[in-house]
Amino acid sequence: MVGDFIHSGNIVFHPGLLALLAKPRVKVAAMGGCYYCYCVHHPVCRYYHHRRRWLNAIIGQPATLEKEDRPYLFFWLYIHFVVGGKPDIEPSITPFGDNLHYFGTVICDWGALGNGAYPYAAVLTALVLLALIAVLLWKAFKGKINSYENIVIAFTIVYGLFIVVWASIQRFERINSRLLSPMFIPLLIACTSWVPDVLKLVRSKAKYALAGVAILLMVAFECATYQVDWQRYDDENDYGVPGYSDDGWNKSEFVVYLRQHKKMFTPTVPIYTDADEAVYLFTGLSSTLIPHKFFQKDVQKFYSVKHFYLVWFDNLSNPELLSLQDVMKHKKLVKIGTAKQGDIYVCDER
């Protein structure tokens, strides 16, 4: 299986080295002790793919660096730390306990437990992760670690802990189903893979009753999932897919106004906005997102611009971005267009 994976154009590489070399075009996914690296044009990865040094990576040992290998490693370490520099990172605003809770609410939604289980979401997260860790340790103790199920369990543990811990260190969007979607199927397998083993241990006819209970639980899970999917399909059929394609955006008076008056913008003058994706999607015009308050260098750079347009959507609320009032305190804005749910301003301090 690993050989087929490698021959398909991907490689398996040591996690420590990938953590040092990873760039935006390299996506690393942890699976147990193995890291599958999807590369576009990474010279080091192509080099090791050509040499097929994947055996040590699979067992978690770093590949031996011979003399001809070292220039590649040192070159990319130099690029990463010296040329790339240390990026600005927003500190997290959600503590570890809150992230456990948000993680648990996603599990409640996946398991069709409903909103009533939300108060116990943090406890549910802790129980699931600790149980999976205990199962993996027990199998390692028994010498039954060499199986695909254990790889899946290891991935679930690593990915789940990574999201919860990293969300407590760095600031990004709140933990939700989208962020945790890569572990949905692994979590489902990890939480059910033990059922056949338990049934094998039962020698009496009671195993048929236990098997029936397991089947009923699976059917109940599928029915609950079907109801959720059907309700979502019904809502999206009436109102559109949530996001820029729903009626709230497509039928917005301000969006219609933007489409009809997009020629008012001078091509050489930059456009700033609190929703750059919406501006491009509905008008085809390029724009720049208003800077985050945390990044003061970006804020000062924005305030140094003398001539620009500002497209402001009133139906959005992002406290992390500069507010319209913040901009007005530093720049003289003149309203040149307006409609329900939005305004267009121009600033000219030349």
Give the chain's mean pLDDT. Answer: 77
CA atoms of 273 and 310, how far apart (whole Å): 5
pLDDT tens sequence across 59-85: 334 444 455 556 666 666 666 656 555
Cα torsion angle, 72, 73, 76, 77, sign? negative
Each residue's pLDDT tens digit, 92-102: 888 999 999 99
From 307, 319, 311, 306, select the one nearest 287 (Cα to Cα): 311
Q: Which two tokens stand for residue 106?
A: 């996603």
- Residue pLDDT, tens place only, 156-197: 999 999 999 999 998 878 899 999 999 999 998 998 888 887
* pLDDT-above-90 percentage for the chain: 36
pLDDT at position 94: 87
Could you tell me the two tokens for 98?
Answer: 């809150």
Q: What is the per-residue burial (b if ≥16 Cβ within 10 Å, else e) of 131-145?
A: ebeebbeebeeeeeb
In this predicted structure, the answer to whether residue 31 has a pLDDT above a threshold of 60 is no
In this prediction, residues 222-242 reach a mean pLDDT of 81
Over the Cα atoms of the chain, what is R_g?
26
What's the rounded Cα separation, in Å, for the pair 123 and 139? 24
Residues in the chain: 350
Question: CA 125 to CA 261: how far, in whole Å?
Answer: 50
Can you tell me which residue has the tokens 């890291």?
A: 35
End-to-end CA distance of the chain: give it in Å, rounded.
64
Can you give the pLDDT at residue 239?
73
Residue 196 is which amino acid?
P
How far apart (Å, rounded) are the C-alpha atoms in residues 192 and 181?
Answer: 18
Q: Going by DSSP bridges, is the β-strand pair 271-273/307-313 parallel, antiparallel, or unpaired?
A: parallel
- For residues 9-37, give the mean pLDDT: 35
Q: What is the pLDDT confidence band of residue 118, given thresholds at 50, 70 and 90?
A: very high
Determine how β-strand 34-38 pairs with β-strand 11-13.
antiparallel
- CA pair distance 119, 140, nearest whole angstrom: 34
Q: Which pair of structure tokens corresponds to residue 101?
A: 């809770």
pLDDT in tens, 283-317: 899 999 999 888 888 999 999 999 999 999 988 87
Q: Where are the domains of the chain?
A: 2-83, 96-192, 248-348
